[in-house]
Amino acid sequence: MSEQEITKPSVFTVPGRLEKALRPVAGRHRKERIFRIICIAVSLSSMLLLAIILISIFYQGFATLNSTFLSNPPSPTPSEAGFYPAIFGSIWLLSLVAFFSLPLGVATAILLEEFKPRHKASKLFNSFIQANITNLAGVPSVVYGIVGLTAFVSMFQLFGNEGAPTFEWGAQYMDQFYNETDQILLVPVPDVEDPPTEPVSGMIAYRIDGKKVQVNIVGEDDVWPEDEVLAARSLRDYDMSGRISERTWYYVRLPFGRGVLAGALTLMLVILPVVIIASQESLRAVPNSLRDAALGLGATRWQVVQKVTLPAALPGIMTGAILAMSRAIGEAAPLLMIAGIVFISNAPSNIMDDFTVMPLQIYNWAQRPQEEFHAIAASGIIVLLFVLLCFNGVAVFIRQKLQKPLS
């Protein structure tokens, strides 16, 4: 060792210099501890606030959460009010939203990330689409409600008024008669535009149980038949009918009107940007070396997506889908534009039926002045949370089942 190296001053040989050198390190550790304490305090405060809200909801709504509440329709009487149409309306709606938005969102993300264009004009168009998707993710949901009202409910007035369908499939119209023995007779109507059916002797009608009968006409001054069988298929010549419709499960109409399909397509617009962006981030997280290796072995671009990229990105895609569906189940503003707060006593039987959902029904009860309705609104929130957990559980299960190791 040289003399200069022996006599060279060092911070470790002088106490003052040692303290000066370690001072910045101690300051950084102090700031780190303070930041950690702040993060823990904020997290605990958020968890405490959430726990208080949940405890308050369960305390207020658990007493009215029973089989009557789950099976009855809404009612002006709090003790008889139920949540049945809103529960099944939400299930119908979320199922259609998932059916439309998840395949479309994932396919869009694959197109934008895995099949990027090479020409300059195509790249500019791709950038334009990407910018619009990013901007649409921040649009308020009530704006989508207005778009859905115009595009899906009335279809820009291209097919006439939304209240009167221009085209229908799967609907049978009938004129309904009540005779003097309170029997119901149904006469099929070929076209909804046909005038009301007038009672004619010998015309074919159907009873409420579906049995075909031949109508017997009784004059205004004639005595009503004493035979029960004959009386059951008899009508007065002046009886008036009421037009009703029977719709099958595959009933479709144009325009869509204020049905489940219009609400599902509107919610699809709300969550579609979220699904696309989450799917894109998951695809970007897959290492490019895996793509290059598959292409080097002779695989096509679609085979690389199908066998390598998509299975690797599936956990992230399903996480984004869970977040998107969690947002959809709690949305009320766009559905308020489509369905409104109306009294719905039956669950939807096809995708064109009128509907209500759990957030709208909860809002309807919460805004009423009676405390009893506030209690059943809390019960509705409990059911809403349970349905949300069920949908998330199904999504997590699918993610775990479809996840493949990268080997």
Torsion sign over Cα 278, 335, 142, 125:
positive
pLDDT at 166: 83
pTM of this structure:
0.82
Q: What is the dihedral of CA 399, 394, 95, 356, to 10 degrees?
A: -140
pLDDT tens digits along 115-173: 888 777 788 888 888 889 989 888 999 999 999 999 999 888 877 666 678 888 988 89
Q: CA-based Rg of the chain, rounded to a whole angstrom? A: 33
**Average pLDDT of span 342-362:** 90
Model confidence band, residue 17 (pLDDT cutoffs 50, 70, 90): low
How many residues in the chain? 407
- Beta-ladder partners of 187: 175
* Crossing angle for the helix pair 260-284 and 310-330, to the nearest 10 degrees: 140
